[in-house]
């Protein structure tokens, strides 16, 4: 496992943002395009702020930058304040566009929590990722039960983008965003599969905060992937770097 350890969340966020900025700058300079995979949640939030500053104040032409999010609740209205659509609109696409208007907000892609046919939505999303050239770099956060995206324990390593049932642990962990009311947390989600994630050319996994210590330690003790800890399938990916602030 390739692990980079930092003494603070601030330092982790700065260094991962700078690294991702340089990768984007290089490929956009060479080909004019970049496909960035995004996660929602607290782990990458500060990194995103820093990345947006770097991209937004650069003179890069970002018209060929596309982003694809890992997952979305289902069902949920795109206008719902807790939809991942809103989180990305306000936390990434809009602030980046405001700073550098060459980035088109319509190039920010996310599974549609209002889609009438979620299975078809997932298939179309996979096709769209492939048509755009595949994910160049995927950002991930680590669930306390080892999930990545909404791939909960028990997910196989070859799963594709699909609708899933959220586990009680994940609904419990996310209820803080729904006024601490478990009933308000959607019971399902749609997520890129583990197989889909592993096709990313490069992966940056952000592991931050004491709550992740136990699962991260378990992950480091493994010698082979297990469905009990979906993040362990990253052991099969040759270009994954873990950015951690855990000693
Ligand atoms: C969200 C996602 C999740 C989170 C994970 C960690 O798009 O993919 O897998 O990355 O639940 O969440 P935080 O960062 O809030 O601890």
Out of 37, 41, 113, give the residue to mutate to test ligand 1, the one with the largest number of ligand atoms within 8 Å of its CB: 41
Give the position, in ligand 1's atom list, of the atom nearest the Cα of 149: 8
How many whole angstroms from 202 Cα to the centroid of ligand 1?
18
Ligand 1 centroid to Cα of residue 31, in Å, is 31
pLDDT digits (tens, 9 = 90+) for 69-90: 999 999 999 999 999 999 999 9
For residue 203, what are its two tokens?
């992966």
Catalytically active residues, by annotation: 71, 145, 147, 152
CA distances from 65 to 31, 69, 105, 183, 210 (A): 11, 13, 10, 37, 34
pTM: 0.97
Q: How confident is the model over 196-219, as pLDDT tens digits?
A: 999 999 999 999 999 999 999 999
% of the chain with per-residue pLDDT over 70: 100
Q: Which residue's CA is minimally distant from atom 3 of ligand 1? A: 149
Binding site membership of 70 for ligand 1 (Cβ less than 6 Å): yes
């Amino acid at each position: 496992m390739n692990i980079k350890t930092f003494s603070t969340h601030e330092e982790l966020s700065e260094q991962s943002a700078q690294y991702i900025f340089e990768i984007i700058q290089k490929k956009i300079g060479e080909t004019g395009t970049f496909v960035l995979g995004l996660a929602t949640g607290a782990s990458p939030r500060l990194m995103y702020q820093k990345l947006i500053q770097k991209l937004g104040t650069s003179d890069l032409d970002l018209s060929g930058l596309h982003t694809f999010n890992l997952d979305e609740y289902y069902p949920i209205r795109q206008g719902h304040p807790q939809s991942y659509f809103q989180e990305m609109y306000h936390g990434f696409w809009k602030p980046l566009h405001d700073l550098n208007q060459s980035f088109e907000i319509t190039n920010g892609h996310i599974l549609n929590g209002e889609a009438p046919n979620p299975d078809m939505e997932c298939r179309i999303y996979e096709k769209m990722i492939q048509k755009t050239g595949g994910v160049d770099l995927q950002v991930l956060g680590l669930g306390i039960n080892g999930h990545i995206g909404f791939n909960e324990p028990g997910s196989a390593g070859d799963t594709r983008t699909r609708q899933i049932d959220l586990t009680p642990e994940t609904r419990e962990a996310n209820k803080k965003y729904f006024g601490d009311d478990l009933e308000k947390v959607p019971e399902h989600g749609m997520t890129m599969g583990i197989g889909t994630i592993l096709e990313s050319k490069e992966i940056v996994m952000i592991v931050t905060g004491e709550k992740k210590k136990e699962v991260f330690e378990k992950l480091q003790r493994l010698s082979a992937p297990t469905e009990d800890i979906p993040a362990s399938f990253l052991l099969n990916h040759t270009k994954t770097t873990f950015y951690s602030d855990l000693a």
